[in-house]
Each structure stands twice: as C-alpha cells, then as structure tokens.
Amino acid sequence: MFLIKHIGSYKVFYYHYLFLKCSSVIYSIPEELSKGSLVGNIAQDLGLDIKRLNAGKARIHMGDNAEYIQLNKERGLLTIREKIDRESLCAQTTPCALHLQIALENPIEIFSVTVEITDINDNAPAFEKEERRFEISESAVVGSKFMLEKAIDPDIGLNGLQSYSLKPSDNFILKVHSQSDGGKRAEMILQQPLDREKEEFISLLLTAVDGGEPQRSGTMQIHITVLDVNDNAPVFTQPIYKATVQENSVKGTLITKVSASDADKGSNGEVSYVIGNSARSILEIFHITEDGELILNGPINYEKTKKYEIDVEAVDRGGLSDSCKAIIDVGDINDNSPIINIISSSVSIGEDLKSNTVVAIMSVSDPDSEEKGKVRCAINKHTPFTIMSTSSNLYSLVTDTELDRESVSEYNITVTCSDEGVPCLSSSVTLTLQISDVNDNAPVFERSLYEAYIIENNTPGVSVFTVKARDADWNQNARVSYLLEESSVNGVPVSSYVSVSADSGVIHAVRSFDYEQIKDFQFCLKAQDGGSPPLSSNVTVKILIQDQNDNPPQVLYPVQTGGSMVAEMVPRSADVGYLVTKVVAVDVDSGQNAWLSYKLQKATDRALFEVGLQNGEIRTIRQVTDKDAVKQRLTVIVEDNGQPSRSATVIVNVAVADSFPEVLSEFTDFPHDKEYNNNLTFYLVLALAVVSFLFITCLVVIISVKIYRWRQYRILYHSSLPVIPYYPPRYSDTLGTGTLPHVYNYEVCRTTDSRKSDCKLGRAGSQNVLIMDPSSSETLQRILKTESENLLTEVRSPQLPRHYWCHASFLLQGRKTMMVRCREAAGEGRRQHSLSNPVQQC
C-alpha cells in the first residue's frame, strides 16, 4: 500500500507492508536545515500514540549516518541533529536519502523511514584553476577547437551547472557539449584568424552559470598568447576509449593507452597528453604519461563510484590540441563482508513463549553488487530458534520449539551471514538470551514413601526426621513450603501427633508416644512451591514407634494374694523331674524387651527344685525323701531382656506331703493377715444381707402381682359391662367362616403350685379341633389328682366354633373355677365364660 502526504512544502510518503508489523514513511527535506529543525511528526504519520513510543523504548537505527537525525520521544517528532550537506553526503548521486529504522518493543514493531535530502543552490560553479593559458599559432585555421576547463558545481539539477559564456567574443566563440553523465563541457572555437602582429596577447573571461535561485556563477581568466605558424593539430585515433579496472587494484595499474598523431614535423609535431577539465579527485586517482598511458594513481572503490569519464587532451608544441574521452568502468570484486545491525533484541524471554514468536530483528546489507551482494543468514544448530527473512534486508529471530529453562537457562545464539561471492565473505554477531522462569514444575520429593523411627517416651517437640522436596524452577517458583494434610489417627487429628516446619520440612513430635498404645501411624505431607498459581505434590510418611523397656514383667500364675496361702503339693514319691508348677508371666513390651527368663532366687532347699530358664517350669532335681521339710518356700525372679532389664518376683509355696490333712496341719502355723480376715468377714456379711433383702423384695412383688390379677378377674366376672371386641392384627374373617394362622405353638408352663400353672393351646393349619400337649395334660392331671382338685380332659365344646383358641387358668381359691377366654378370628368379640363344671365343657 503506497500513500503520499504533503506537509507544508515537504512531501511525506507512506509505505505499509502487511507483514510482521512493518510500515514505511518517506520524508523529503531540503539540505542545510539548521539543528533542531523538524523533519516530520513520526508519531502522527505512523498512527502511534506518544505513550506507545515511550513504553516501547523507541529508538533509531541509522548505521553510519546516525549523527544527522534524532527522535524526540516526548513529542513524537523527528528533528535535525546536525546540519546536512547533500553534496558531502551523496555527491552527484540522486536521489539522496537517509534510511533509518524506528524500533519498538513489547510487541516488537519496525518502521522504516526514508528521509530524502533535496538540493538547494548553496554552491556556485567553480573552476579548478583561476586562469588558463593558451599558446595559439597565428596560422590557426578558423574552426580550431580549444578545450576549456570544466566548471564544477556540486549541486544537481537546476541548481547545477547550466551554461557557459565567453567574453569578449571577437575572435572566439563558445560551444557547449552535454555529456552522458549530465555534465557540460565547453570548447572555445576560433572564428576569426589571429594576427600576432595586431594582437599578441588576448584575455578572455569564461563564466559558468547555474540555474538556481538566486543564480550563482564562477569565472576563469583565459590568457592567449599568439604564436607563430603551426597549422596542424594533433588528432586522436578514436574519439572514445573504453576500459575496465577492478576495484582495489594496486597503484600503478595500466588502465588504457590513448594515442594521437600530428602531421607537423619537428617540434610542432611532438604531442603531449594531459587530463583536462577534470576535478581534483579525478587527478588524484588517475595519471596519464607522456606516452598516453592512463595509469591508476590512487585507490578506487566500486561502492563509491562505478564509472569514470575522463577528458584527455593531446597538445603539440605549437599549442594545437585535440581531445578524446576515456570511459572507465570499475569492476566490482567481493571485498565487503555483510554488515549486521541489530535493530531490536530481547534480553530475557519467558520459557512459556509460544512458537514462532519474534525475539530479535536485525538488518543485513552487503554493498557489493549482483551475486556478491546477496546474503544468506543462519544460526548455530541445536537451538530452539530459527532465523527468517522478512523483507529484502530484514531478518527475524523467532522461536522454533518450546523452551525449558530447567534444561537450558541461557542461549548464546551466533548469527552468521554470508554472501555468494567468490571467495565467500561472512560476518557474525552473537546474541545472548536469558530464559526467565515460569512455574511449570511441581516440587518432587526425594522418595515416594518415607519411614521414620522414634523411640517411645520421647520428649514432646523432638525432631523425628526431615523430608526434602526439590523444585526444578528458579527463585520464588522454587521456594518449597511443607504442609500437613488434614487426616486423623484413631479418630484424633494427625496435627496432635506431629507437626512440620513449613520452611525446612523438619517433622516434630507433638506428644510423647507410648508403644503399647500405638505402634505406628502414617499421614500425608504436601510440598507446595511459591509460584502463582502454586504447584504441589504429596508424599506418605509412616512413623514407626520403637519399643523401650519401660514395663516390668507381670506374673499371671501363681496369683499372689495379700493374706491367703496357696501351696503346690508334691507327693513324697515324686521322681526326679517331677513338674511341680509353672510360673507364667508376660511383658507388654515387644521384641527382646519381652523376652523373659526365669531364675530361682531363694529356696528353702535349693538342692530339691529348679526353674526352667525359658519356660518357668518348676521341677524336682532329685528324689523327694522323708527328711525333706513339708513346707518349701521358693522365690522366683522373672527378668526381661531389655537394657536395662526389669524384673518381677513371685513366691511359690510348695507342700511336700501325701495327704491334704498333713498339709493343713503344717500350714496352719503360717501367719495370716488379721486385718485381711476382718475385712473378708465384713464383706461376706454385707453380701448376705443384700441378697436376703433382694429375695424378700422379689417375693413381696410377686405376691402383690398375683393378688392384683385375682382381684381383676373377679371384678370382670361379676360386672355386667358389655365386652369390647378385640381384633388381633393377624386374624380376619372371610364371609363369616373365620381364619387362623397356619402355624401354632404349644406352650406349657408347669409349677409345683397348681394355681400358677398355665396352658396355651393351639392347632396346626389343617386341624379343626383344639388339643393339648399330652405331656402337659398328664402333668396337670397328676397335679390335680394330687391336690384332689380339677380333672383336665380333652375339651371339645359343640357350642364354640372350631376356630377358637382357649386359654385356661385354674384358680383354687375356695371353689374351682376355670376361666376360658375365647377369641373369634372373624372379630365377633371376646367372651368370658365362668364354668361351674369345667369337666363337662372341656
């Protein structure tokens, strides 16, 4: 997209390339502007905000011409830093322009700016010499040409050299020739024959005029001395000579040879060659010998001047001359390495940077021509970056793959640019990129499971052990904090057992542990980094409580009582190895702290008994004799294997006798604890009293309940109140036929008291009559016969439906009455019958 904008007398051109945020602006300004003059409002022309220029750290890259233009970021203006002289900067090259780039960061943007320097008429045409002398024979024919020195005007266009004038013009006229390079050369042509006798010296004024405003001019004085006859001028063999010389050729290199001949003889035929009407710079580079050899006299550079046009003049001794042109093309050689200029570069980039992100922009140029000026750029291998060409001379360094600071935290990227000349020339520059950290790694524990041991009875607050987690990130993202996950051990929060130091990971015991209560427990620990958002990982920690010998052995058998005397009996016929008894003991500790050993500490007769070291068995070690005392007292000590060891003692009384009376007679003399016997008697009396009270209370309650029931039956029997039907929940009547459950249980309760005997009768699902358990009937009949009371027989009443059940209670209270409760399953109600003759009804 191309846009032209006029600002005052200046023209502003806009180029916009729809690629990588790159735009171009062209300004046109005249030369010789004073320092601080405005070039253009770059912020407005590029559509940028002043804040963007400051935030993006706007800066100018101009290469070798950095002293001419400056950027005012506060106002967004381009201004003149130093006065620009177009002639010094570009000489005759058109157009003359300064190329610069304005770079912004975050995001990276590049704007190309071209400042074209227009010419003003600040230079007047000037001749190399203030005067020129000619010696012309009076016999010179009309039309003879005399080459005049060329005036030099550094300006170009209309401001450059436009015309010459020669005064007075009595004998000579001026002819101006336009050259292919835009210059003008003048020849003085004789139009009137000279007469030395009339005028031996002629003075002319040659004026060179430019076309600027105001018009400027330069003059040169021409002095002509009229000589005597020389009527033949030298003549060149060809009007134009062409040659080629390679740049950087050594001084003294022969470029070409010109040749001119003169028909005269003698001294008038001798020809000499000079380089005419050329600037001093030409004379410093080229030199012509008397033989017409054009020789290189100074350094020549293709990048400065690609072609030279030299006017060569051949002059004889008579002053006659001829001229020709020597056109010299400068051949380019690959003598310039590529020039790399970093426009914008990031010092540090994040490791989470996406692929194809621009991290640096550079301009690369090669002043050589054709293939020798074509440049290829590459970077060192095995880096996650690549270099791309974004325009004719701009290259971008972009990310190629994902970055990982934990693998490589810094990259030294060498950009090498090579041309295609022979031999190939290259140059390189190294960029250092720091990779900034992103929190993309969670802390990692050194182990997947930690196990630690702590001895019981520890001091609260003691350090158990230390966990360690490492985070591959850097700085704050790698700062690890340790947290205790919420959990419980046996219903108690784990925080009441242990605590963890958030910074160091040291785990402390909060309480003193008891191995006999808890042997081990485990909990979850979290390591969390300081990133945003934070990352974390968990690990399981298992704490194992180590046993300490803090519990003495406990003797389970024989049981030691305060005042009673327990003795083991050994018959006098016992053989060697006879098992008297076994001491049984336990130790609640574990491991070797619970290994028990038994030793005989004291004994009435050590030669008679021994104790098994491991099993605690007391055995005889010799035959028992009549001389052995009946009463034997053994003291056995039980020790564990802890350090230091703990022990318990037990006294075992052994009676050596064949009969129990003998033992009693011997052991009655043993002292008893009087206080213990008194207490025992008290407790026995107290227990007997309590049992007697409870028995009497229960008896009274039972009698009261029986009387209460009897009175209720009598009240119900004599009352004429209507009977409220009672419908059991599992009984129903269907069409008046009645139903009963299919399963019945026969329950018989028998006591020695016939008034407390009770019988519940039922039927099976397929039976239609009610029968009693034969055993129950026989028992009741036996009781009734014994007491001469009621005789219980099979009951079959035709007045009652078959689906009735009967509950019979026999009450003997002066007269025999049987209460029969009948409940109809169909819900007709409940009837009570007082039967005076139960044998007849049942």
Q: What is the mean pLDDT of the chain?
A: 79
In a domain, 703, yes or no: no
- pLDDT of res. 662: 67
Strand residue runs (E) in 265-384: 271-276, 286-288, 293-296, 307-316, 321-331, 339-345, 348-350, 358-365, 375-379
| pLDDT higher than threshold 60 for residue 827 | no
C-alpha 674 chain-centroid distance: 84
**How many C-beta neighbours within 10 Å does residue 20 have?**
16
Q: What is the mean pLDDT of residues 276-281?
A: 74
Task: Say if residue 401 is in the same domain as residue 451.
Answer: no
Range of the domain at 96: 24-118
- pLDDT of res. 711: 87
Q: What is the mean pLDDT of residues 354-366?
A: 91
- pLDDT of res. 777: 43
- pLDDT of res. 378: 94
Task: Characterize 70-92 residue by residue with b for buried, 16 or more Cβ atoms within 10 angstroms of its Cβ, and e for exposed.
Answer: bbeeeebbbbbbeebebbeebee
Residue 152 DSSP symbol: B
In a domain, 169, yes or no: yes
What band does 22 get if pLDDT is binned at 50, 70 and 90?
Answer: low
Q: Show Cβ contacts of residue 405 under 8 Å, excluding neighbours closer than 6 positions.
A: 351, 435, 436, 437, 438, 473, 474
Sheet holding 506-509, edge to edge: 463-466, 506-509, 498-500
- pLDDT of res. 562: 57
In a domain, 824, yes or no: no
Better pLDDT: 732 or 598: 598
- pLDDT of res. 270: 87
Closest among 513, 544, 508 to 525, alpha carbons compared: 508
Q: What is the mean pLDDT of residues 418-441?
A: 91
Task: Say if residue 50 is in the same domain as residue 113.
Answer: yes
Using the 3D structure, point to which of 189, 206, 227 is the last residue of a domain: 227
- pLDDT of res. 565: 57
Lowest mean pLDDT among 59-68, 383-392, 458-467, 501-510: 59-68
CA separation for the pair 744, 738 (Å, rounded): 16
Q: Percent of the chain having pLDDT more than 90?
A: 35
Pairing of strands 131-137, 217-227: parallel
In a domain, 374, yes or no: yes
How far from 432 is each of 353, 401, 409, 414, 426, CA to CA, in Å? 16, 18, 11, 9, 20
- pLDDT of res. 786: 45
CA separation for the pair 695, 584 (Å, rounded): 42
| pLDDT higher than threshold 60 for residue 821 | no
Task: Say if residue 576 is in the same domain as residue 659.
Answer: yes
Lowest mean pLDDT among 663-677, 720-734, 794-808: 794-808
In a domain, 528, yes or no: yes
| Tokens representing residue 198 in the block | 């009339």
Task: Say if residue 453 is in the same domain as residue 379.
Answer: no
CA separation for the pair 167, 169 (Å, rounded): 5
Residue 341, judged by CB atoms within 10 A of its CB (0-12, 13-18, 19+), counts as: middle
| Tokens representing residue 760 in the block | 């519940």
Q: How many residues does the chain have?
A: 842
Q: Show Cβ contacts of residue 3 under 8 Å, excluding neighbours closer than 6 positions.
A: 13, 14, 15, 16
Task: Say if residue 171 is in the same domain as residue 98.
Answer: no
Q: Which 3 state secondary structure label does DSSP give 43?
A: helix
Task: Say if residue 580 is in the same domain as residue 640.
Answer: yes
One-letter amino acid at 486 equals E
CA separation for the pair 396, 400 (Å, rounded): 12
| pLDDT higher than threshold 50 for residue 725 | no
Residue whose pair of structure tokens reads 């140029």 in the numeric block:
365
| Tokens representing residue 276 in the block | 């005419």
In a domain, 736, yes or no: no
Task: Say if residue 180 is in the same domain as residue 270.
Answer: no
**How many C-beta neighbours within 10 Å does residue 550 have?**
15
Q: What is the mean pLDDT of residues 537-548?
A: 93
CA separation for the pair 499, 507 (Å, rounded): 6
Q: Where does residue 266 fall: left (phi above 0), alpha (psi -120 to 50 degrees), or beta otherwise?
A: left
- pLDDT of res. 727: 41
Task: Say if residue 145 is in the same domain as residue 197.
Answer: yes
Task: Say if residue 92 is in the same domain as residue 145.
Answer: no
Lowest mean pLDDT among 132-141, 346-355, 711-720, 732-741: 732-741
- pLDDT of res. 419: 92
Q: Show Cβ contacts of residue 246 under 8 Å, excluding neighbours closer than 6 positions.
A: 330, 331, 333
Q: What is the mean pLDDT of residues 512-523?
A: 91
Lowest mean pLDDT among 13-17, 109-113, 265-269, 450-454: 13-17
| pLDDT higher than threshold 50 for residue 837 | no
| pLDDT higher than threshold 80 for residue 199 | yes
- pLDDT of res. 802: 37
Q: What is the mean pLDDT of residues 783-809?
A: 38
| pLDDT higher than threshold 60 for residue 465 | yes
Note the pLDDT tens digit of each residue in 641-683.
888 888 999 999 888 888 777 666 666 554 444 455 567 788 8
| pLDDT higher than threshold 70 for residue 753 | no
Better pLDDT: 824 or 77: 77
| pLDDT higher than threshold 60 for residue 811 | no
Note the pLDDT tens digit of each residue in 73-131.
888 899 998 888 888 888 878 888 888 888 888 888 888 899 999 988 888 999 888 89
What band does 209 get if pLDDT is binned at 50, 70 and 90?
Answer: very high
> How is 269-292 classified by DSSP, letter by letter?
G-EEEEEES--HHHHHHEEE-TT-
Task: Say if residue 367 is in the same domain as residue 412.
Answer: yes
| pLDDT higher than threshold 60 for residue 784 | no
Which secondary-structure segment (H or E) carries 707?
helix 674-718
In a domain, 792, yes or no: no
**Most confident segment among 192-196, 254-258, 556-560, 570-574:** 254-258
Using the 3D structure, point to which of 297, 331, 365 is the last residue of a domain: 331
Q: Are 648 and 638 in contact (CB under 8 A)?
A: yes
Q: Are 365 and 335 in contact (CB under 8 A)?
A: no
What band does 511 get if pLDDT is binned at 50, 70 and 90?
Answer: very high
How many structural domains does the chain have? Answer: 6
Task: Say if residue 114 is in the same domain as residue 186.
Answer: no
| pLDDT higher than threshold 70 for residue 796 | no
Using the 3D structure, point to which of 546, 575, 605 is the last residue of a domain: 546
Task: Say if residue 512 is in the same domain as residue 597.
Answer: no
What band does 836 get if pLDDT is binned at 50, 70 and 90?
Answer: very low
In a domain, 579, yes or no: yes
Q: What is the CATH number of the domain that holds 617?
A: 2.60.40.60
